[in-house]
Amino acid sequence: MAGSSSRSAWVSVGRPGIRPYAAWPWADTVADPGEGVAADGTIRTGAGRSQVPSAFEPVLADATALAGERGASLYVYGSVANGTARPGSSDVDLLSLGLHDAAAAGRLLSARYASLCRGVEIAAAEAADLAGDSDAAYGFRVFLRHYCVHLTGPDPSAGLPAFPADTRAARGFNGDIARHCRRWRQELGSGTVPADLLGVRAARKTLLAVAGLVSVRDRTWTTDRAHAARRWGEIEPGLAAPLRMLLSWATAERRPAHEEVPSALAGDGVVATVAERFADLIGLWAADQQDP
């Protein structure tokens, strides 16, 4: 993803080995010029097999072969899927269903294609993670249907309808923002994660939540962090400067200064404020109905 080497693997909440902050693939989405709302009110994106730049076909072919040998399903998402990837500077982001050695496969492909991309990340999930009425499962279905391009294996997305660009989709994507906010504070206090790294992770996730706010407020659909920061700064001018600060962290325009991160994560800081706005306008996941 442009400007940051922070990547995420999909793991369901509570699964052993969970990686905090970006527990969902869409935490690393990038600006998609084809994103918006279709005429029927459903989500529109630019992801498509024909959009994949030809330069990245070799890595997709190798990844497909690895997944196929293990009977797993594989999808590509992010900049490669929507055609905005650039050889040498973009990541290749893949989502697997049933690939239990996804991390190792990603390391292998990253080394093999180091001259082509910054890295190959294979997020790991199971088909069962799509099931149920939870916001998390709903958000995963939205992501799979609209942002992922099928490469090999059984394809659960083929049976999914186009999803409305609405409050429920926004909540499915980022209704865990308050949970993350609390976790970031805990880790800042314990010193287990460097403050600047926490700042970058918080900025990326928080701005995606802001994109959800913009989507619902303006009756549109976007995951574009830069647009979201600008637009919500217009709606709520008091947050314009803090959101610009988060955007500079998220895009690696600059690293967070050590003293800035505690302020951003404080109870009255920009991250908690966004979480509160999200709870009020969109709502949080059922397990997260508490103050951020």
Q: Do 123 and 73 have their domain in common?
A: yes
Q: Are 121 and 7 in contact (CB under 8 A)?
A: yes
State how far the Cα of 180 lies from the Cα of 192, in Å rounded to an integer. 15
Q: Do 200 and 241 have their domain in common?
A: yes
- What is the chain's pLDDT, residue by residue, as a tens digit (292 residues)? 333 333 333 333 333 333 333 455 655 566 788 999 999 999 999 999 999 999 999 999 999 999 999 999 999 999 999 999 999 999 999 999 999 999 999 999 999 999 999 999 999 999 999 999 999 999 999 999 999 999 999 999 999 999 999 999 999 999 999 999 999 999 999 999 999 999 999 999 999 999 999 999 999 999 999 999 999 999 999 999 999 999 999 999 999 998 999 999 999 999 999 999 999 999 999 866 555 6
Token pair 């072919």 is found at: 61
Q: Do 42 and 124 have their domain in common?
A: yes
Asked, for residue 55, whether it belongs to a domain, the answer is yes
Q: Do 112 and 56 have their domain in common?
A: yes
Would you say how long the chain is, in residues?
292
Which of 107, 141, 165 is where one domain is finished?
165
The H-or-E segment that residue 123 falls in is: strand 119-125
Asked, for residue 6, whether it belongs to a domain, the answer is no
Q: Do 153 and 210 have their domain in common?
A: no
Asked, for residue 129, whether it belongs to a domain, the answer is yes
Token pair 């992801």 is found at: 47
Q: Do 132 and 204 have their domain in common?
A: no
Asked, for residue 11, whether it belongs to a domain, the answer is no
User: Whose CA is closest to 180, among 167, 169, 193?
Assistant: 193
Q: Do 152 and 196 have their domain in common?
A: no
Neighbours of 71 (CB within 10 A): 11
**Range of the structural domain that residue 273 is part of:** 175-288
3-state secondary structure at position 6: coil
